Amino acid sequence: MPYSPRETAQKTGFSLDTLRYYERIGLLDGIDRTAGGQRLFTDDDLAWLDVLRCLRDTGMPIARMRRYAELARDGDGTFAERAELLEEHDRDIERKIAELRDEQARIKEKIGWYRRELGRMQQRTSA
Whether the predicted pLDDT of 122 surpasses 90: yes
DSSP designation for 32: E
The domain made up of 1-73 has a fold known as: Multidrug-efflux Transporter Regulator; Chain: A; Domain 2 (1.10.1660)
pLDDT tens readout for residues 5-39: 999 999 999 999 999 999 999 999 999 999 999 99
Question: Across-strand partners of 40?
Answer: 32
pLDDT of residue 1: 83
Q: What is the mean pLDDT of residues 91-103?
A: 98
Q: What is the pLDDT of residue 123?
A: 92
As a whole number of angstroms, the distance between CA 6 and CA 15 comes to 9
Q: What is the pLDDT of residue 67?
A: 98
Average the pLDDT over 90-112 and give the result. Answer: 98
- Among residues 29, 33, 30, which one has the least CA distance to residue 2? 33
Return the domain boundaries, the chain.
Answer: 1-73, 79-127
